[in-house]
Amino acid sequence: MSHILGIDLGTTGSTASVLLDDGKLHSVPSVEKTHSTEKPFPSVVSFFQDGSCLIGDSALEQSIYNPIGTIKNVKKHMGTPKKFKIFEKEYIPQYIAALILMKIKLSAEELTKEKFEHVVITVPAYFDEAQRRATREAGRIAGLNVLQLINEPEAAAIAYGAHKISSKTRIMVFDMGAGTLDVSILEAGSSDAAKAFQVLAISGDNELGGIYMDDLIKDSLLRSIGKHGVFSSSDEIDTDQENIQHSPDTHKLDDAVAVAERKRLGYQLDIIAENAKIALSTEEKITIDESISFEREEHKLTTELTRKEFEKMIGELLRRAESKVTDALANANLTSDKIDKVILVGGPTKIPAVRNMLKKLVKEPESDVDPTFAVSNGAAIWGAILNNDRNLPVIYKGVALLSVTARDYGEKMRDDDGNISVQLMIPKNVPYPTRFTDIFYNNFRNDGEWRPAAPIDVWTGNPNFQKPHDFSKYKKIGKFKIEGLKHGISNVIEVTYELDNDQILTVTAREKGGDAYAELQIDPDGSTHQTGRMIEDLRKDAEKIERKTRAWMGGYEVPPEEWKTPKNPKYCWMCECLEDAKKILNAHHEDCREFFKISTFRLFIQQLEKQYAFAHIQLTHPDYRIGVHNALKEDTHPNRRLLTIVLVHELLHALHPDWGHNRIIPEERRLANLAGYFDAFIEMDRIFLSGKMSLCNNHFSSDFDFKEINCD
Ligand SMILES: Nc1ncnc2c1ncn2[C@@H]1O[C@H](COP(=O)(O)OP(=O)(O)OP(=O)(O)O)[C@@H](O)[C@H]1O
Ligand SMILES: [Mg+2]
């Protein structure tokens, strides 16, 4: 097996690690990381009206411009019947999680230049059967074989190397993430050598974590601009309950605009609040100085926040966390002095007050655990162990957690002579998780007619399949049909038996070369589930997005080497657009004369990430940046017109800062009309409103590497 990817699929952010041939753990970087949530992959997906989507960092960035299309915090909905309704389409949580996993998979492929098929994914210890099943399904929709789901605290303890501790050691893993707190007490070095750890107790709260702290900061910011009460404290509530449909009914449209505006405000504040919180982990005092737009007005947010004030704000959350630590100890029947080690996991554990709380309550936490990557590192180590990886560092060797099958599993078939037997698929005494595929043929009916459906019979038995025809030794545990088999395709059915770590047996049947597909899941208790078709269809959808994303990730539209050269004649046409835009204003807009006399302009573009390049006009005074969709970078007639009209928009805002950003003003319509550019204007309007182009993008820092377009 190739390398195994370990993925920590988090509420706000996800990480991935892999153990490579150098025997070292590598965390997978995101190629486009520019935003908050410290983990490299924000767990965010942003859909557009045409069904296309952005995933991860670019989706987080777009959330402000495309609030109604954006889905965050999907982990909270795994295993529930929740459906996200966006632009009249419905998405199930597994599908959203799958897109995030898929983006991570592609980023890992960028890192190692190899394909990843197998993963270990971590889940909170409290996740129930439905939540675990949904996480597995997400993996499959992403085109990944989930070797095993392991509990987050156990992964963190593996990364810490706790299983090598020979004497009996009790470890408390305090994992405070974005949305949940998990406190687990594990025992390592216990007598059962087959087990790395024994979980003594867990406790937690799935509404406690970083985002609730952000909410408190958001509340205080809203108060400072007199907008408190605009929405309920959690953006999650907005996102979930205010799903809207586009409707020609104007009344509904007004509601829709209001909802979108509220979400947009929420998303802007999310980012500001989160940045403030993170900064306060290392600074005693910070200054927030941002402008946000809401209901077509700009609001200046200028305030100071000290660490002391922040600690006071989150006091109640900390008290609740404290009580969960006490609960875990009580559940394990232990007093705090019986805990040998405390391991901190999750972003908010970087907050000094959180660390101090643990120190006071239990003991000084270990300092050599990386709270951001511990969980995915543990998953990657576990993957390498399952894979029998010879590069596994010595300290992780020798953890025998593999279980072996207690029975044979097989498939009922009829041979050429008409004898019925059971074909062995997974034998007894092999380590699981495991899978095996074999080929079967569809029979014609006795009357020579084609059979469009074939039965799949799943059997289990205890003795080796020495006497395949002796059915008294076997028991039928499941039965399903593969339907829609077409004559003249291949007549071959591939049947796969897969036994996962939880002893759930999944049997799939696929028509080779055709479309027919069916599957059955059989739990250890004998209950059966049939969800395969839906998952398979979603996989096809996800594959389309995967192909597109791969193409984006693959090639820069502006090749990096071109990026380095200071002058690039290829982009000079953009300067000509700037000149044209100035001409339009000079001809039709009185107010600009004086302004043009005293200002100079330079045009820059910036490769912000792969889907977008950002154009940036620098004036002698304020800077205006505009997002230019990739397609705009080619010198074509429509692109020239479109960029010109976008630049008119920007220049107008430079001229009239009080007209507010992020909206299209009547003057622009007038100018576009007078200059005969109305079609370009409509196009801009459409792209802008779809959220695919971020106009007047003041939310970007100027730290980025801008490239000047210089035609002189
Ligand atoms: N240096 C920091 N100081 C304070 N908070 C931080 C810091 N770094 C990250 N965070 C916060 O940690 C949270 C994310 O933590 P983490 O990535 O562990 O959660 P998650 O895995 O997404 O969520 P969960 O474990 O609940 O599924 C965010 O709220 C983020 O703002
Ligand atoms: Mg986490």
Domain boundaries 557-709, corresponding CATH code: 3.30.2010.10
Calculate how far, in angstroms, residue 647's C-alpha sits from the geometric centre of ligand 2: 43
Residue nearest to atom 24 of ligand 1 (CA): 177
Residue nearest to atom 29 of ligand 1 (CA): 210
CA distances from 518 to 486, 493, 500, 534 (A): 14, 11, 18, 10
Half-sphere exposure of 38 (CA within 13 A, CB side): 19
Residues near ligand 1 (Cβ within 6 A): 10-13, 37-39, 75, 177-180, 209-211, 274, 277-278, 281, 346-348, 350-351
Residue nearest to atom 10 of ligand 1 (CA): 347
pLDDT at 39: 86
Which atom of ligand 1 is least distant from the CA of 347? Answer: 12
Quick: pLDDT tens for 485-520: 988 887 899 999 998 877 788 999 999 988 899 988
**Residue type (1 letter), 5:** L
pLDDT band of residue 140 (cuts 50, 70, 90) is very high
More confident site: 465 or 61:
61
**Residues sharing a CB contact under 8 Å with residue 569, sequence separation 6 or more, in sequence order:** 711
Per DSSP, the residues of 127-161 read --HHHHHHHHHHHHHTT-EEEEEEEHHHHHHHHHT
pLDDT at 306: 96
pLDDT at 563: 47
* Residue of 278, 305, 318, 354 with the most ligand 1 atoms within 8 Å of its CB, for mutation: 278
pLDDT band of residue 660 (cuts 50, 70, 90) is low
pLDDT, average across residues 335-340: 95
Handedness of CA 137, 142, 143, 146 (dihedral sign): negative
Calculate how far, in angstroms, residue 10's C-alpha sits from the geometric centre of ligand 2: 5
CA distances from 519 to 137, 156, 347, 480, 528 (A): 13, 34, 39, 8, 10
Nearest one of 459, 447, 578, 443 to 507, comparing CA atoms: 459
Instruction: Average the pLDDT over each of 235-239, 396-400, 468-472, 697-701 and give the range with the smallest value.
Output: 235-239
Angle at 132 between CA 127 and CA 135, to 5 degrees: 120
Q: Does the pLDDT of residue 331 top 60, yes or no?
A: yes
CA dist 689 and 260 (Å) reads 11
pLDDT at 83: 95
3-state secondary structure (DSSP) of residue 88: coil
Calculate how far, in angstroms, residue 537's C-alpha sits from the geometric centre of ligand 1: 33
Which atom of ligand 1 is least distant from the CA of 36? Answer: 31
pLDDT at 328: 92
Q: Is-cis flag, bond preceding 433, omega within 30?
A: yes
Quick: pLDDT tens for 173-203: 999 999 889 999 988 876 554 456 777 888 8
CA 177 to chain centre: 15
Q: Does the pLDDT of residue 642 top 80, yes or no?
A: yes
CA 105 to chain centre: 11
Percent of the chain with pLDDT over 90: 32
Q: Please indicate whether the domains covering 5-209+316-404 and 557-709 agree at the CATH topology level.
A: no
Instruction: Average the pLDDT over each of 65-74, 309-318, 549-558 and give the range with the smallest value.
Output: 549-558
Quick: pLDDT tens for 62-119: 677 677 889 999 999 999 999 999 988 999 999 999 999 999 999 999 888 889 999 9
Which atom of ligand 1 is least distant from the CA of 274? Answer: 31
pLDDT at 124: 87
pLDDT at 627: 59
Nearest one of 299, 278, 317 to 224, comparing CA atoms: 299
Q: Does the pLDDT of residue 525 top 80, yes or no?
A: no
CA distances from 619 to 569, 596, 597, 650 (A): 22, 10, 12, 11
408-521 CATH, one of 3.30.460.40, 2.60.34.10, 2.70.98.40, 2.60.120.10: 2.60.34.10
Calculate how far, in angstroms, residue 40's C-alpha sits from the geometric centre of ligand 1: 11
Nearest one of 59, 41, 31 to 555, comparing CA atoms: 31
Residue nearest to atom 8 of ligand 1 (CA): 347
pLDDT, average across residues 353-371: 95
Calculate how far, in angstroms, residue 263's C-alpha sits from the geometric centre of ligand 2: 25
pLDDT band of residue 230 (cuts 50, 70, 90) is low
Q: Quick one: tokens of 542?
A: 């996800």
Residue nearest to atom 2 of ligand 1 (CA): 278
Handedness of CA 535, 541, 545, 547 (dihedral sign): positive
pTM of structure:
0.70
Calculate how far, in angstroms, residue 616's C-alpha sits from the geometric centre of ligand 2: 37
Domain boundaries 5-209+316-404, corresponding CATH code: 3.30.420.40
* Residue of 9, 37, 149 with the most ligand 1 atoms within 8 Å of its CB, for mutation: 37
Is 60 in contact with 44 (CB distance < 8 Å)? Answer: yes
Residue nearest to atom 18 of ligand 1 (CA): 346
Mean pLDDT of the chain: 80
Residue nearest to atom 12 of ligand 1 (CA): 347
Q: Quick one: tokens of 103?
A: 């983006």
Beta partners for 45? 55, 71
Nearest one of 623, 638, 642 to 681, comparing CA atoms: 642
Calculate how far, in angstroms, residue 545's C-alpha sits from the geometric centre of ligand 1: 28
Quick: pLDDT tens for 580-608: 999 999 988 888 888 888 887 777 776 55
**Residue found under tokens 């005693």:** 284
pLDDT at 386: 83
More confident site: 293 or 653:
653
Q: Does the pLDDT of residue 298 top 50, yes or no?
A: yes
Domain residue extents for the chain: 5-209+316-404, 408-521, 557-709
Q: b/e string for 354-371 if b means 16 or more Cβ within 10 A? A: bbebbeebbeebeeebbb
Is 689 in contact with 50 (CB distance < 8 Å)? Answer: no
pLDDT at 246: 35
CA dist 265 and 310 (Å) reads 22
Helices (H), 292-369: 307-313, 315-331, 352-361
Is 640 in contact with 660 (CB distance < 8 Å)? Answer: no
Instruction: Average the pLDDT over each of 55-59, 323-327, 389-393, 447-451 and give the range with the smallest value.
Output: 389-393
Q: Does the pLDDT of residue 312 top 80, yes or no?
A: yes
Instruction: Average the pLDDT over each of 12-16, 159-163, 324-328, 549-553 and give the range with the smallest value.
Output: 549-553
pLDDT band of residue 323 (cuts 50, 70, 90) is very high
Q: Does the pLDDT of residue 250 top 50, yes or no?
A: no
